[in-house]
């Protein structure tokens, strides 16, 4: 059997709980979604604990699991994912941090953790503090969107087990402390970098302009979420897959790059509820031609969940369904399509929850069970049963005739 191509569509946070105002239906159950239902009708469905029963997935750990990795083994903090997301390379032994550009007063008390949600000039500021060398450690710094940035420390003898400089509230900045003796040097280098950077940032023309315009200056960086990349064998090596990802948000982009996907910029794919669904569909179709495995993340459902807006969430389901319809209409025949979520973000909770998510796989060798609709409850009666997130990709590989044999 010739191996099939594979398309995995992840509806970020779309999975939900019964909503009173929707007559105890979930937003997915309440929405009109002919394309999703067609997929369920012609494929095999199930319910999935993305990390495990009773564990609330982060978007980062969830995507690692959906790509077939054991997040408990490979995940050491959000820093590396954020760093790769903004475009910094990560090597083995590097320690990475998420950072905010922030504002401090003369006593080093944080007065604005986001420097007035600074939008312009962060590229220049980042450039001014990137590349310095401290105790034989090279410091790489790059801006993300708005006040967000990432920091990579590269050199011998580093260890990610250090505490945050970011106080996470408006108070004096913290000294990073080693959480294990091996991390002493890392904490010292990090503290020195923050001090040196603040001197450079305070005197930078971008900040002089901001002060003149009565805007809070971005005169400090606040690192948090230290992490290293453990052995993370990319999908290309693990399964021999040429793969690509479409995602709007840098966190998910970062994970895609970490696992070896190419991540083209798709104009209009914003990672917001205003994302260009047509552009995403076109990008997916285009990438399927040139790759074995294509991944598409649509963030909007998670946003509607965090906002607690069940009406918006129903609309998001219908928009994603429209996008899926466009894809299915023009998709080549030899593609296995999988549709699922990375976690639930119930509108009643406004945060991620541990509730399992629906999953449907259609095409290739997928069986056809009796499930007629794609939703949290219908999918659970499907022939896939209940599975774990890290078993999804192997399952898809099996249905796409790409699984490996064990034994003779």
Q: Rounded CA gap, 214 and 28, in Å?
A: 46
To the nearest whole angstrom, how small is the minimum distance from the Cβ of residue 194 to its own copies? 21
Q: How far is the CB of 176 from its own copies (least distance, A)?
A: 19
> Which is nearest to 98 in space by CA: 150, 55, 46, 56?
150
Give the CB-side neighbour count of residue 25, counting CA atoms within 13 A: 14
Q: Which helix (H) or strand (E) holds 278?
A: helix 277-290
Nearer to its own copies, 98 or 280 (CB): 98
Nearer to its own copies, 301 or 382 (CB): 382
CA–CA dist 15, 62 (Å, integer):
13
Q: What is the smallest separation between the CB atom of 43 and its own copies, expressed in angstroms? A: 10
**Gap between the Cα atoms of 220 and 222, Å rounded:** 7
Residue 385: CB minimum distance to its own copies, A: 3
Which one, 76 or 198, has the nearer CB to its own copies? 76
Shortest Cβ 332–its own copies spacing (Å): 18
Of 49, 43, 40, 17, nearest in space to 30 by CA:
17
Residue matched to tokens 């690509």: 244
Pull the structure tokens for residue 41. 């009708």
CB 398 to its own copies: min, Å = 3
Of 24 and 290, CB closest to its own copies = 24
Contact residues: its own copies, CB under 8 A = 1, 17-18, 24, 26, 46-47, 51-62, 71-72, 75, 78, 225, 251, 346, 348-355, 365-370, 376-377, 380-387, 391, 393-399, 401, 403-408
Beta bridge partners of 133: 138
Structure tokens at 377: 């409850």
Q: With respect to its own copies, which residue has the nearer C-beta, 318 or 376?
A: 376
**CB of 325 or CB of 394, closer to its own copies:** 394
């Amino acid at each position: 059997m010739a191996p099939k191509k594979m398309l995995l569509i992840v509806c970020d946070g779309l999975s939900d709980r019964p909503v009173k105002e929707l007559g105890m239906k979930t937003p997915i159950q309440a929405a009109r979604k002919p394309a999703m239902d067609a997929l369920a009708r012609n494929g095999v469905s199930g319910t999935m604990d993305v990390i495990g029963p009773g564990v609330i997935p982060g978007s980062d750990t969830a995507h690692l699991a959906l790509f077939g990795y054991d997040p408990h083994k490979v995940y050491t903090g959000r820093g590396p994912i954020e760093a790769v997301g903004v475009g910094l390379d990560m090597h083995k032994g590097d320690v990475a941090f998420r950072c905010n550009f922030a504002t401090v007063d003369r006593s080093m008390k944080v007065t604005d953790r986001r420097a007035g949600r600074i939008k312009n000039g962060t590229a220049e500021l980042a450039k001014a503090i990137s590349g310095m060398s401290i105790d034989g450690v090279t410091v790489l710094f790059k801006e993300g969107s708005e006040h967000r940035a990432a920091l990579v420390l590269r050199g011998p003898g580093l260890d990610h087990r250090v505490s945050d400089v970011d106080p996470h509230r408006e108070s004096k900045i913290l000294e990073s402390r080693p959480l294990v003796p091996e991390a002493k040097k890392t904490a010292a280098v990090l503290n020195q970098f923050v001090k040196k950077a603040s001197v450079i940032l305070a005197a930078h023309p971008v900040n002089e302009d901001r002060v003149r315009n009565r805007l809070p200056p971005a005169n400090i960086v606040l690192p948090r979420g230290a992490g290293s990349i453990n052995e993370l064998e990319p999908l290309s090596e693990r399964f021999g897959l040429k793969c690509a990802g479409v995602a709007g948000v840098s966190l998910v982009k970062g994970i895609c790059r970490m696992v070896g996907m190419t991540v083209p910029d798709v104009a209009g794919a914003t990672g917001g509820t205003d994302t260009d669904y047509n552009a995403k569909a076109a990008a997916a179709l285009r990438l399927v031609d040139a790759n074995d495995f294509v991944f598409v993340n649509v963030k909007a459902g998670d946003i509607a969940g965090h906002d607690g807006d069940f009406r918006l969430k129903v609309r998001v389901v219908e928009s994603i369904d429209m996008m899926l319809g466009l894809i299915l209409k023009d998709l080549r025949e030899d593609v296995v399509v999988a549709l699922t979520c990375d976690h639930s973000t119930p509108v009643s909770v406004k945060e991620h929850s541990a509730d399992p998510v629906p999953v449907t796989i259609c095409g290739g060798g997928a069986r056809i069970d009796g499930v007629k609709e794609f939703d949290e409850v219908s999918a659970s009666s499907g022939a896939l049963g209940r599975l774990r997130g890290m078993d999804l990709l192997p399952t898809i590989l099996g249905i796409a005739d790409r699984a490996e044999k064990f034994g003779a």
